[in-house]
A = this chain, B = another copy of it.
């Protein structure tokens, strides 16, 4: 389900959050499906349960899953989440462009050739 990249410098829990989030947004994990338990996932990716727990809490806070006591964690996808993600991506691009502005680097020049997905 999830493969960690040990050469990635980001914290493990952040990698889990990002990967789970993408699986949900992409529809690979469908709404109301049950997710693996904290312990099961920890074993699967051989990491500490604390780390998985931290990732799950963050995903719940962001609205990507809900937990039912005694039953487990479930996917909670809805259209709003994709919008939320779009906003997030857009803000990250804006942050970069703001930096460019400060250095008097032309925005169009920077974005040139990036409008379309390369395949």
Contact = CB atoms under 8 A, between A and B. Distances in A.
Contacts of A90: 110, 114
B105 A115 contact: no
Contacts of A11: 69-70
B111 A7 contact: no
B114 A86 contact: no
Interface string A18-46: 00001001100000000000000000000
How many of these chains are in the complex? 4
Contacts of A82: 103, 105
A68 B26 contact: no
User: Which of A11, A89, A94 has the most chain B CB atoms inside 10 A of its CB?
Assistant: A89
Contacts of A105: 82, 85-86, 89
A80 to B, nearest CB: 14
Nearest to A95: B92
A65 to B, nearest CB: 11
Contact of A116 (B22, B103, B107): B107
18 contacts: A6-B66, A12-B69, A22-B99, A22-B102, A25-B103, A85-B105, A86-B110, A89-B96, A89-B105, A89-B110, A90-B110, A92-B96, A93-B93, A93-B110, A93-B111, A101-B117, A107-B117, A108-B115
